[in-house]
Amino acid sequence: MLDPAAPHLVVNSRTLYFGWLPADPDAAAALVPAGLRPSPDRLVFMNQYVVDDDSQTSGFGAYSLTYLGVALTGVDAPGGCHPGGWWTHYVTCSERVRAYAAARGAPAHAGRTRIARDGGETVAETEIDGVPVIRARCQVGETGGTISSGHHRYFTARDGRLLSSVYPYVAEPVDPFVIESLEFLEPAHPIYALRPENPLTIGFGFYSPRASFAYPGGLTAHAGDTGTLEAVPTLGRIDALSVPA
């Protein structure tokens, strides 16, 4: 069992990260808990990524992961360039990563993400319990001299408390990059609430064959819906959070 208070580093993951406007803004907003406020446009974000080798992580091993959520207002990441986000779904093939993330409040589920590139087209598919639920297609170019870096802030919940962490990242995005389609394949699955509007409206996005990021040590307790955050030492050590068996 990985210590959920320990930080972890992932380097050179293959990553497709973008956001869109949902077909049902009210359904997306309903997934955000009290104490947080969804963005006015109810923007949905998704990160599909694959870590191909054990040597690319500080302890997670090789794995794949997709997380989705709803962008928030009033709780931007450091620098103010990215809004905070509430994780609604967190799907990974790694039992080790699921246990680590669940202990930090993530809504962790078993599943797998595959990213395949054929020439200039890349297809990213996420499955849950062996059933494909999301498929994204995009046109991608090659990496150049551009580096994208900064921080994201994501919110989770444990034991009735809202928690926040700030995640630094460095990525080498490709150019050109165009999202061609985004399909939510299972109308009966709860994840379908985040499906995109038609026509597809993209808010932001990139594909990178080399994206690196860190899970920081510790967590921060959210003080309410005022946009302020309050550090709590016991949460920084995860003393108050139970770890799944």
Q: Domain boundaries in the chain? A: 8-236
Q: What is the pLDDT of residues 150-203, one digit of tens each?
A: 999 999 999 989 999 999 999 999 999 999 999 999 999 999 999 999 999 999
CB neighbours of 150 closer than 8 A, spacing ≥ 6?
Answer: 77, 78, 79, 81, 82, 168, 169
Number of residues assigned to the chain: 245
In CATH, which superfamily holds the domain spanning 8-236? Acetoacetate decarboxylase-like (2.40.400.10)
pTM recorded for the entire structure: 0.92
Residues 60-107 pLDDT 10s: 999 999 999 999 999 999 999 999 999 999 999 999 999 999 999 999
